[in-house]
Structures are given as C-alpha cells and as structure tokens.
Amino acid sequence: MARFGTLNTAWMVWDNPAPAAEGAVLEYTRELEKFLAEIERRAFRIAQVALRDADDALDVVQDAMLKLTRSYASRPSAEWRPLFYRILENGIRDLQRRRTVRKRVMAWLPGPKEDPDNEAQDPLENVADAAPAIPERLMQAQAMQKLEESLRALPKRQREAFMLRNFEGMDVAETASAMACSEGSVKTHYSRAVHALREQLGEVW
C-alpha cells in the first residue's frame, strides 16, 4: 500500500508540475528585480560620470538591463553583477566611439552645428529636489564634481577599474571579470588610478 502511495504521489507531481515551475519563475523574477533595483542608481551615476550626459547614461543603463535580462538571466545570480557591468562598459565605449565619429563628420559638414544644450527638456527634470541645499551638501557636490572631472581625465581602463572597485565596491575578481582582464591588470589599473587622482585633486580636495 505504501508503494502505491509513493507512486500516486509521484504521478501527481508528474501530472501537475506547473505550480512548482511558476513559483520558481516568480522567485527568479523577484531576484532579478531586486538585483536591478539595487544596482541601477549606481550604474547610472557611473555611466553619467563616463558620458557626462544623463540621457545617454539612462539609455546605456536601460540597454544593459535589457541585454542582461534577455541573454544572461539564466546564469547564476552571483555572475549578474560582473556581467551587467561588462555590458554597461561596452555600451559606454560604443557610445563614446559613435560620438567621436559623429563629431568628426559634423566638423566636415556645412550648416548649423549640433548643440547638445538645445535639446527638448524633460519637464520632470525641473522638479525641485526634496532635500534642502545646505552648505555642507553643496561642498560635497563640488568635491564630487572635481572628482568626476579628474576621473574623466584618466585613461579609460584606469577609470573603469576605479569606478568598479571604489564606487561599486566590487572585489578584484569581480572587477577582472567585468573588465575582461586579469586580476593583476585590475590591481595595476586601480593603483595607478588612485595615485593619479590623488595627485590631481591633492591639497584642495
């Protein structure tokens, strides 16, 4: 009888696999959403520092999210972060290349030049920030502004290594995976970046 009971249970599991599968999909979607929600703002700021443009940064982050969910969501969740940042860095690099080409072409073409400040503004951008602009906050914003300028002056790989290690808090192995290079290279790039930034910012920072 016990044997029949086991068979019966097994048959029920075979016959109705949907609830378990649905639960797994739901759990997996939640995990993916949690990951993206946790990472999106930092990713946006990293892209913004590199691209100096909020709209471009948003586009690149959205593309990275789409590519991750479409192509790599089935990978273990521990791999998502380095994968996401690799996609993001590739997107940033592509956009920078396109900008360079566009700039060269526009320089040769007659007619009015493209003015990035003349683009249509999103009305939500003018919504006031809830936090008060106290002096300390202003000073921090200025310090961050200087750091961003110094970061843009760094070689790309050094900038990537610094932002992933310092801003995103990734360890050496994760950074190496995101940058598609060896751990030794990450250490070298990061060390040079810190040295160069300290020299540039120096006393005033």
Partner 1 sequence: MNEDNDAFEMRSRVLFQDSVEGLDFAVRSRLTQARNTALDAAATRRPWALGWKMWTPAAGVTAAAVLGVALWMGSPLHHQAATLAEAQSNFEDLDLLAASDEGSPDALEMLQDDIDFYDFADKAANPGPAA
Interface positions with partner 1 (CB under 8 A): 29, 32-33, 36-37, 40-42, 44-45, 54, 58, 61-62, 65-66, 68-70, 73, 122, 124-125, 127, 129-131, 137, 140-141, 143-144, 147, 166-167, 169, 194, 197-198, 201, 205
d(CA 179, CA 157): 8
CB of 195 vs partner 1, minimal distance in Å:
8
d(CA 152, CA 183): 23
Q: Which has the closest alpha carbon to 163: 35, 38, 45, 46?
A: 46
CB of 96 vs partner 1, minimal distance in Å:
20
Q: Which is nearer to partner 1, 8 or 145 (CB)?
A: 145
CB of 34 vs partner 1, minimal distance in Å:
10
CB of 175 vs partner 1, minimal distance in Å:
14
d(CA 92, CA 3): 61
Q: Which is nearer to partner 1, 59 or 183 (CB)?
A: 59
Q: What is the DSSP letter of 168?
A: S
Q: Which is nearer to partner 1, 36 or 172 (CB)?
A: 36
Q: Which is nearer to partner 1, 1 or 120 (CB)?
A: 120
CB of 145 vs partner 1, minimal distance in Å:
9
**Token digits for 157?**
């790989």
d(CA 176, CA 103): 32
Calculate the CA 6 to chain-centre distance: 50
What sign for the dihedral angle of Cα 189, 192, 193, 194? positive
CB of 131 vs partner 1, minimal distance in Å:
7
Amino acid at 95: L
Q: Which is nearer to partner 1, 181 or 201 (CB)?
A: 201
Q: Which has the closest alpha carbon to 175: 186, 189, 184?
A: 186
Q: Which is nearer to partner 1, 176 or 190 (CB)?
A: 190
| Contact criterion met (CB below 8 Å) for 190 and 162 | yes
